Amino acid sequence: MSDGAQRGFTLLEMVCVLGIIALLAAVLLPFIPRETSRARLQAYALQTATLLKADRGAAIGRQTSVATLVDAGARAIHSGATSESIRIPDDVRFDAMLPQTCRRQAALSTISFFANGTSCGGTIALTRLDTGFEIRVNWLTGRVEIVSRNTASN
């Protein structure tokens, strides 16, 4: 070994290694499963309740009916007053118990709110593992509430 030789990596070698690591991360990150946490599940429930309350407020403010679409097939909830939508992830169980008719008309997978604040009601349940939340719309008052459900057996 000569006295002038030095051990170590050059800057170019370090940049190349970092570039390869970044490329691998960019390719592999989309394949890492991202499960919905309890906090994120609660956030979906809050978003859903907020959307429903906004639709109810719009119905009262505009003095007209507003129907929130609950699309179980697409796992989405669409506002009837705005362009806002909420997409529920595939790892969350998404159940909706909606009226078949509302004011003697087919409800067509909707939760309807009326100018006086009332509704035909409905319930949306979001569940992941042993944690769940129900977003309930009271059929008489139109009030929207979130109820926590623990689905673990004792």
- pLDDT, tens digit, 9 for 90 and up, residues 7-60: 777 888 888 889 999 988 888 777 666 788 888 999 999 999 999 999 999 999
Q: Which domain holds residue 64?
A: 38-150
Q: Which amino acid is at 116?
A: N
Residue-averaged pLDDT of the chain: 88
- Total structural domains within the chain: 1
Please, are residues 87 and 73 in contact by the beta-carbon 8 Å criterion? no
Q: What is the mean pLDDT of residues 124-146?
A: 93
| 1 falls within a domain | no
| 19 falls within a domain | no
Q: What are the tens digits of pLDDT across the range 64-96? A: 999 999 998 899 999 999 999 999 999 999 999
| 14 falls within a domain | no
Q: Is the pLDDT of residue 152 over 60?
A: no
- The secondary structure of the chain as a DSSP string is --TT---S--HHHHHHHHHHHHHHHHHHGGGS--PPPHHHHHHHHHHHHHHHHHHHHHHHHHTS-EEEEEETTTTEEE-SSSS-EEE--TTSEEEEE--SEETTEE--SEEEE-TTS-B--EEEEEEETTEEEEEEE-TTT--EEEEEEE----
> CATH number of the domain that 119 lies in?
3.55.40.10
Q: What are the tens digits of pLDDT across the range 96-133? A: 999 888 888 777 799 999 999 999 999 999 999 889 99
Residues forming beta bridges with residue 112, ordered by sequence position:
67
